[in-house]
Amino acid sequence: MKIQGVIFDMDGLMFDTERLFSHYWTDACRDYGIPRKEEFVQAVRGSSGEKMLACVRRYYGEELDAQAFCRRCYEYVDEYLKTTVPKKKGLDELLAWLKARGLPAAVASSTYRSLVERNLRTAGVEEYFRKVVTGDQVEHGKPAPDIFLLAARQLGLAPGNCLVLEDSFNGVRAGAAAGCVTVMIPDLSQPTPELLSLCSGCLEDLGQVPDFIERYEG
């Protein structure tokens, strides 16, 4: 099977931003006078929309304004990212490699569009991505496959010819459910046996992706 396009997650995969969310959930909890729950921070990672709101309600109850709570965390992250977006190891090299080989790339991120597009501009990598798909464009967020199916469709490719690069559990599940070739590059969450069973590979960093593609295509 040939890989004809690559679909990137953003937070924790391209940019070292999951640590920001982890940090600012603490601040949001402080603002709302509720305890930070590590289980919540892990469960909410890689989610968006109703999945994120449901996660908040599961851990903090219906009495908390889930939308306002999530918005507060995003406001903190948004303010930090206005001036700097820390790139993950190997990102620039991988994007240059894909461009040299004519392989199109897309972003499929649960984060809202304006922040995704600004991060791409601030990091100086906007030109490498043919399509940007965000959580507000699909009915069901990760771990549902919707966002990756839409990204593949926008690239004009079958899901099976797309390589999905993900760091989160929800993202890996979504990529596998979409029928894409799915590779995990762990960030804050290390893979479980379940996650490894869903992946075609598990790599240390983005710089290893070209070798993976060459091995996969044989």
Relative orientation angle of helices 113-123 and 66-80, to the nearest 10 degrees: 10
Spatial separation of the C-alpha atoms in residues 55 and 53, rounded to whole Å: 5
Q: Choose among 59, 72, 62, 67: nearest CA to 26.
A: 72
167 counts as catalytic: no
Amino acid at 43: A
The token pair at 184 is 């995990």
Indicate if 16 belongs to the active site.
Answer: no
Q: List the catalytic residue out of 11, 78, 146, 187.
A: 11
Task: Could you list the beta-strand ranges (E) of the chain.
Answer: 5-8, 105-109, 131-134, 162-166, 181-184, 201-202
**Active site residue ranges:** 9, 11
